[in-house]
Amino acid sequence: MRGRFAPSPTGQMHIGNARTALLAWLQVRSAGGTMLLRMEDIDTARSRPHLADQILTEMAWLGLDWDEGPDRGGPAGPYRQSERSDWYRTVISRLEEAGCLYRCYCSRSELNRLASAPHGLTGETVYPGTCRSLTPAEAALRKAAGREPALRFRVPEETIAFDDLVAGRVAFNPADAPGDFVIFRADGVFAYQLAVVADDAAMGITHVLRGDDLLDSTPRQILLYRALGWTPPVWAHVPLLVGPDGRRFAKREGALSLAWLRGRGVRPEALVGFLAFLSGLLPSPEPVRPTDLIAAFDVGKLPRAAARVEPALLEALAG
């Protein structure tokens, strides 16, 4: 088994990220597998090097370790997406050769105007296929207008189904939402969907455990695996932690960041116990170390419902 934690250093690590990291680590360690840490700093405009460093420090503070990663290297490196552009270009040319991509000249404002009501689990807008079958003359016209194209993946009209270790059987048709998706942005940034598949495949990842906010990305990623002739990993999408209002914690909110909790003197064992309790791994939020949870861990027994973080519980944690 090869698993990974793949944080984006675009905000402070909060308790939700810490919980995903803990569960991904437990899945790997309980199977005696290899744990990777990959820094998803592909969007250089939004990523911050000091946040990347802080994530490594806070992972270690939690008591989570990794066998391969940006700080320690390994056979599948580099482990920072910002250093893997050549590989993404190679993968894009393979997709182009297979006829899976087309150039899209739509601007953001055009897309906003064209978009119907948001669809899909995360409310993404649906691409109406404007540039899907441009004639060479139409494409030339748009190019002459100085537009840089994005690259979109041609999504077939087909239901994609997979068995998720936590969510169970999942099936939906990515042609309904979001439709043909971007894999290379007009501003020159490789899209998450492309980079994550290119990297999980190249790094030999067999098991992906991540938050279920990415559940509706998975059919798109399966399409990419298929187009490239690669085997997808086994997926486990864990329900997110939500606040008392039922909304999920946003990374940029700052509150409930590990930095904030550490600043209040919270011990790592207390936080791990709190996260384990919220994930159904402990009957009460007693302090524990991650290693104490390995023996009893079973990914198939993780609860399917979102874990609500009650204020009283948080107060008890944060003192």
Q: Is 33 exposed, middle or buried (CB count within 10 Å of its CB: 0-12, 13-18, 19+)?
A: middle
Nearest-10 crossing angle of helices 192-202, 218-228:
60
Q: Using CB under 6 A, list all residues that contact ligand GLU.
A: 6-8, 40, 196, 210, 214
How many Cα atoms within 13 Å fall on the side-chain side of residue 23?
A: 35
Q: Is 251 annotated as catalytic?
A: yes
Identity of the residue, 6 or 59, whose beta carbon is nearer to ligand GLU in the bound complex: 6
Which residues on adjacent β-strands are paired with residue 36?
A: 4, 68
Of 129, 216, 225, which Cα lies nearest the Cα of 173? 216
Catalytic, out of 55, 251, 272, 277: 251
Cβ 317 to ligand GLU shortest distance, Å: 23
The label of the residue with tokens 């995360």 reads 122
Nearer to ligand GLU, 28 or 106 (CB): 28
Q: Name residue 49's amino acid.
A: P
Smaller CB distance to ligand GLU: residue 26 or 196?
Answer: 196
The C-alpha R_g of the chain, in whole angstroms, comes to 21
Name the minimum Å distance from CB 66 to ligand GLU. 14
Nearer to ligand GLU, 134 or 202 (CB): 202
In whole angstroms, the minimum distance from the beta carbon of 144 to ligand GLU comes to 37
Sign of the Cα pseudo-torsion (26, 171, 157, 114, in order):
negative
Q: Least distance to ligand GLU from the beta carbon of 97, Å?
A: 26
CB of 46 to ligand GLU, least distance (A): 11
Residue with tokens 């150039």: 103
Q: Which is nearer to ligand GLU, 205 or 270 (CB)?
A: 205
304 token code pair: 């399917």
Q: Which residues on adjacent β-strands are paired with residue 124?
A: 119
C-alpha 40/C-alpha 241 separation (Å) is 21
Contact 192, 213 (CB under 8 A): no
Q: Give the residue carrying structure tokens 């099936």.
A: 171
Q: Which is nearer to ligand GLU, 248 or 262 (CB)?
A: 248
Residue 81 beta carbon to ligand GLU: minimum distance, rounded to whole angstroms: 9
Neighbours of 130 (CB within 10 A): 14
Question: Which residue numbers are catalytic?
Answer: 251
